[in-house]
Amino acid sequence: MRHVLLTGAGGDVGGRITPLLKAVYPGLTLSDFKPIANTHGLPFRQAQLSDMAEVHAAVAGMEGIIHLGGFSVEGPWETILSANIIGAYNLFEAARLAGVKRIIFASSNHAAGFYPQEEIIPAEAPPLPDSRYGVSKAFGEALGALYAMKHGIGVTSLRIGNVGEKPLDVRRLAIMLHPEDLVQLIRIGLEHPDIVNEVFYGVSGNTRSWYDNARAISYGYKPKYDAEDQVDFAEAEQRKLVPNPVAEMYQGGGFCADEYTADLAGIMAKLDRTIDFSN
Ligand code: 15L
């Protein structure tokens, strides 16, 4: 694959993976809504995702797109609507018209953040968003499925945990994704001949992962990193945080606790009676 576009290239994750991607895809083009300080000598196309004309110009001539662009945490509805919902629609629709063959959609663990931390869930688990942001990621996965099945674009949605080289707290021991492992997943999505529409968990080979990533493994994913190797660091960082029962109950952590108004004990009692997540 020669012509690959990386949206959201100016963000933290984009900055971490650009040099790794450049080594694999020398024809890489970067995009973001504002100029990027370090383009690593790569071409740059500025585009606001909510502006269809700018998105058309950004995707022209591309064979593959890695879509990291959008708002990457919880935010006001207007922001999520514009950057993540309208933005994702514009990206997929412009890609279809431009004849793009493969798209990697950066989904998030927050598309399914309300599963309890004690459960191991597969990527096939239905969305259970923990935020407006998580809803927008579930929307993006659904949009990807539509463009895969109806228009034949090979789509891989990655429910990304937390991208970095260290687990930033105990929760991240389960969900850390080393940038090199992320690039491995991206390469499967862009290059594996059998991709139609896939959802993989974007996590490293973490000992205490909450996800059954069998689907990614069946495509050849062999994560190199395990957050557990840095357990002391994670535990030291955890001691600096204020405990929160909602954040500690659910996989989405603080995204679940943010704006929480339900009765946690009441909900857990009802779920215990009605749902067995392991089936
Ligand atoms: C995400 O989806 C965010 O983009 C990232 O900033 C982290 O907050 C991450 O989830 C996480 O769950 O740690």
Closest atom of ligand 1 relative to the 133 alpha carbon: 2
Distance 161 CA to ligand 1 centre (A): 6
Distance 136 CA to ligand 1 centre (A): 14
From residue 216, how far is each of 157, 158, 219 by CA, in Å? Answer: 11, 10, 5
* pLDDT category of residue 125 using cuts at 50, 70 and 90: very high
Whether 136 is in the pocket of ligand 1, judged by its Cβ within 6 Å, is no
CA atoms within 13 A on the CB side of 46: 5
* Model confidence at 13: pLDDT above 60: yes
Distance 110 CA to ligand 1 centre (A): 8
From residue 231, how far is each of 77, 98, 250, 254 by CA, in Å? Answer: 36, 46, 20, 20
Whether 109 is in the pocket of ligand 1, judged by its Cβ within 6 Å, is yes
* Model confidence at 24: pLDDT above 50: yes
Quick one: CA dihedral 88, 93, 94, 95, positive or negative? positive
List Cβ<8 Å contacts ≥24 apart for 142-145: 143/88, 143/89, 143/92, 143/105, 144/92, 144/103, 144/105, 144/197, 145/197
Residue 269 CB-density burial (10 A; 0-12 exposed, 13-18 middle, 19+ buried): exposed
Q: Which of 25, 89, 115, 133 is catalytic?
A: 133
From residue 217, how far is each of 143, 221, 255 by CA, in Å? Answer: 24, 5, 28
Query: Which tokens go with 191?
Result: 């290059």
Going by alpha carbons, the residue nearest to atom 11 of ligand 1 is 162
Whether 73 is in the pocket of ligand 1, judged by its Cβ within 6 Å, is yes
Whether 162 is in the pocket of ligand 1, judged by its Cβ within 6 Å, is yes
Which distant-in-sequence residues (6+ apart) come within 8 Å of 162 by Cβ? 168, 172, 175, 176, 177
Question: pLDDT, tens digit, for every residue of 132-167?
Answer: 999 999 999 999 999 999 999 999 999 999 999 999
Residue 70 CB-density burial (10 A; 0-12 exposed, 13-18 middle, 19+ buried): buried
* Model confidence at 279: pLDDT above 50: no
Whether 110 is in the pocket of ligand 1, judged by its Cβ within 6 Å, is yes
Q: Does the active-site annotation cover 201?
A: no
Closest atom of ligand 1 relative to the 13 alpha carbon: 4
Cα of 2 vs its chain's centroid, Å? 23
Quick one: CA dihedral 130, 134, 136, 139, positive or negative? negative
Closest atom of ligand 1 relative to the 171 alpha carbon: 13
From residue 250, how far is each of 23, 129, 170, 253 by CA, in Å? Answer: 37, 11, 13, 6
* CA dist., res. 110 & res. 253, Å (int): 9
Domains in the chain, start-ordered, CATH in brackets? 4-270 (3.40.50.720)
Question: pLDDT, tens digit, for every residue of 171-204?
Answer: 999 999 999 999 999 999 999 999 999 999 999 9
Question: pLDDT, tens digit, for every residue of 62-81?
Answer: 999 999 999 999 999 999 99
- pLDDT cut 90: percent of the chain above it: 95
